[in-house]
Structure 1
Amino acid sequence: MALLIQNLSFDSTTPAETARFWADALGWQVMADGDPDEVVLEPAAGSPQAGMVPDILFLRVPGPKAVKNRLHLDLRPDDQAAEVARLEALGARRVDVGQGPGVTWVVMADPEGNEFCVLQALTDTERTGA
């Protein structure tokens, strides 16, 4: 039996707006099909991620997020501080989910409150495996 992950789904009271944040954050494209209750993001056509990673689907729900995510994204930037600043400019904010001091990642939330982490950049050794 073979399984592929088709998409990761996020509940949202504002799917179009939440999708736009993530499209800007990831450099992905919003796939418009006319349904305001389901908005899909895909990697940009021709990018190395196209066809290789799951889409992200934002589904309209009636109420706001109430508790910590059961699933969240960990993002690996080239420059953690620059990426955190860029994401804050897009509308993300830093949040405390109990991670404590001294961790190497930054916990953030998108405008809808979905938590995600911005990790440190890979070292040269981690990148090359040497």
Structure 2
Amino acid sequence: MGIILSQVVVDSRDPASLAAWWGEVLGREVEADGEDEIWIVGESPGDLELGFIRVPEDKTVKNRLHIDLRPQDGSDQATELERLIALGARRVDVGQGPDVTWVVLADPEGNEFCLLRSTPAEVAADMAAAESLPG
């Protein structure tokens, strides 16, 4: 049996501001646990939560861990890219090359994340098609 991934925590100079930004991106509620620890809660018990913890230093190097976002069914990568940039995300180059299907962006504090191309329905359809192949 595996273990449940419960929370991802992001170091932040301004946890309230960064959590509010990510809350808007994800369409989720933000809960403060003091001013140095802010959480984006899951919609259901057991959902992955995203936390922001105050640290004194700015981000200085590429993240060792990053978040991948997927457009919801009924949306697409181009629409979500436009929305994320309007919210304050910016494109960044981490050496990904020109032919990748994802877009690398950074949040207002410079944390890299990726916007994937496929929606959940498209991923499910691709998996079903792969399972039906002979062999």
Mark yes or no: TM-score above 0.5.
yes
Letter in 1 for 2:114: C
Classify the secondary structure of the residue corresponding to 2:38.
Answer: strand
Classify the secondary structure of the residue corresponding to 2:24.
Answer: helix
Compute the displacement of 1:38 (Å): 0.3
Alignment of 1:4-23 (within 5 A): 4-23=4-23
Counterpart of 2:98?
101
Q: How many residues align?
A: 124
TM norm structure 2: 0.84
Classify the secondary structure of the residue corresponding to 1:97.
Answer: coil
Alignment of 1:27-38 (within 5 A): 27-33=27-33, 35-38=34-37
Letter in 2 for 1:65: K
CA contact (8 A) 1:39 1:59 kept: yes
Counterpart of 1:47?
none
TM norm structure 1: 0.87
CA–CA separation in structure 2 for the residues paired with 1:108 and 1:68: 12
Larger Rg: 2
CA contact (8 A) 1:109 1:115 kept: yes
Structure 1 unmatched ranges of 5 or more:
45-49
Compute the displacement of 1:53 (Å): 2.4
Alignment of 1:32-51 (within 5 A): 32-33=32-33, 35-44=34-43, 50-51=44-45
Q: Does 1:60 align with 2:57?
A: no
Letter in 2 for 1:93: R
Question: C-alpha root-mean-square deviation of aligned residues, in Å?
Answer: 1.8
Compute the displacement of 1:5 (Å): 2.3
Higher helix share: 2
Change (3 A) 1:21 1:102: same
Deviations 1:32-88, CA, capped at 9 Å, x for gaps: 33x1100011134xxxxx224221110000010011111111111130011011001
CA–CA separation in structure 1 for the residues paired with 2:121 and 2:20: 32
Structure 2 unmatched ranges of 5 or more:
130-135
CA contact (8 A) 1:27 1:43 kept: no
